[in-house]
Amino acid sequence: MDAETIQNLIEAGLPGARAEVWGEDGVHFEATVVCEAFAGKLPLARHRMVYATLGELMGGAIHALALKTITPGEAG
């Protein structure tokens, strides 16, 4: 697995989202996801939205994904 594939999956699954993903070992990744759809949602709900874009890859090809999920307004 690579960061670019994860970024593409997140952005395809959350229309209008911008994702930055990085990770050096191919199984542990970090991502910052900016999406208007996060407005009014708690962090857990935001994370679930991102995980839903990755489906079965979570816990499999992607062992760990640390997330920062923010709205465009929170991004400043």
Burial class of residue 40 in the structure, from the number of CB atoms within 10 Å of its CB (0-12 exposed, 13-18 middle, 19+ buried): exposed
Domains belonging to the chain, first-starting first, are 3-75 (3.30.300.90)
pLDDT value of residue 59: 84
Query: In which element (H, E) is residue 22 found?
Result: strand 18-22
pLDDT attached to residue 75: 86
**SS3 for 65?**
strand
Tens-digit pLDDT profile for residues 1-27: 899 999 999 999 999 999 999 998 988
| Beta-sheet pairing, 28-34 with 64-70 | parallel
The token pair that represents 13 in the structure block: 């699954």
